[in-house]
Structure 1
Amino acid sequence: MDNAPLRFVLDPPVDAALRDGLIALWADVTDAGGAVGFVPPADPEQIRTELVHHFVAMAEGRTRLLVGYDEDGAVAATAYLTRNTHRLMTHWLWLYTVMVHPRHQGKGHGRALLSAAADAARTMPGIEAIRLTCRGGIGADTFYATCGYKEVGRVPGAIRVAPGDDRDDVIMLLSLT
């Protein structure tokens, strides 16, 4: 597969093809060791249940979905932009479930996804920053830092991947101003 750029779509229509593409992406990223809320082996039914939560938040207008499609039209990357509902924190949003399919990694698509997410956030009235969390110990925090995110907090051992395998929860921020 060549290095063709992904085509990013904010708020794509939700249909069976998108649902199935999101589940397949999430499973493939999980099975490749990605820190996206699950551990290998991926269970598509658990992923489906979590995806329904995202769809509900989207339907309620709290979350927006950004999808990157590859040259074949397959779901290749995602990020969810979720408004903070606390009245004193509505000037920033959360970025969740940031994924690039393993076959598309190492080609600059992760940077393109984060750039597209920042562009999307800038179109949302009142948003001045993006926060995300990532699992320590896998290099994600280093990657996000190279994309302009700053580490603003760390909770040691907050993520239990397996018995005896606790990872830091790293909190990162990107200012949009």
Structure 2
Amino acid sequence: MALTFELDPSFTPALRDGICALWADVTNAGGAVGFVPPVTAEEVRPDLLKHLVAIEQGRARLLVARDAEGAVAATAFLTLNDHRLMKHWLWLYTVMVHPRHQGEGYGRDLMAAAADAARSIEGVEAIRLTCRGGTGADRFYAACGYKEVGRVPDAIRVAPGDDRDDIIMLLRL
């Protein structure tokens, strides 16, 4: 079954709770989305609120995918640059697909929908994202057309003695 994507959905308490639950589930399944497990939905809520402030200020857009049951199954945040010399590209943050949907091609669908959303924004010519080294995410993004354009060694400390590279990737639209 295919996911249903929506850009800039109406933000309701149910959507908020769905994204928080998704974020916790992805993290607890080993996803590299800003936390390390274990984490609860309540612990990720403040980070979601930061994204929502950016949306309210017109600096970000939310892409949500729902599964056949209507549950939040995937998300990505497209964050615009406010620097006058960098308005031609945007950041893609908090790219998540629920673990129960892993291996169904939904990650590629989400990345394609994010690229389509970015193309709909006037003047945007590229998407940048970063990912945590050692997770395989860089290989996934490369398979979606992204190119590695930079790497900061040991920039992410997952735990004492477990430092990972911060990999910077770019997709030209």
Sort the TM-score into its range (normalised by shorter chain): over 0.9
**Counterpart in the other structure of 1:133:** 130
**Counterpart in the other structure of 1:73:** 70
How far 1:46 sits from its partner (Å)?
2.4
SS of aligned partner of 2:76: strand
How far 1:61 sits from its partner (Å)?
0.6
**Counterpart in the other structure of 1:45:** 42
**Counterpart in the other structure of 1:17:** 14
**Counterpart in the other structure of 1:56:** 53
What TM-score does the superposition give when structure 2 sets the normalisation length? 0.99
What TM-score does the superposition give when structure 1 sets the normalisation length? 0.97
What is the CA–CA distance in structure 2 between the aligned matches of 1:58 and 1:89, rounded to whole Å? 19
Aligned mate of 1:95, from 77, 92, 96 = 92
SS of aligned partner of 1:34: coil
**Counterpart in the other structure of 1:36:** 33
**Counterpart in the other structure of 2:3:** 6
SS of aligned partner of 2:47: helix
Percent identity, aligned pairs only, is: 72
Aligned mate of 1:153, from 150, 155, 168 = 150
**Counterpart in the other structure of 1:85:** 82
How far 1:44 sits from its partner (Å)?
2.5
What is the CA–CA distance in structure 2 between the aligned matches of 1:48 and 1:164, rounded to whole Å? 28
What is the CA–CA distance in structure 1 between the aligned matches of 2:63 and 2:41, rounded to whole Å? 21
Q: Any stretches of 5+ residues in structure 1 without a counterpart?
A: none
Q: Which moved more, 1:39-48 or 1:64-73?
A: 39-48
What is the CA–CA distance in structure 2 between the aligned matches of 1:8 and 1:44, rounded to whole Å? 22
What is the CA–CA distance in structure 2 between the aligned matches of 1:76 and 1:146, rounded to whole Å? 21
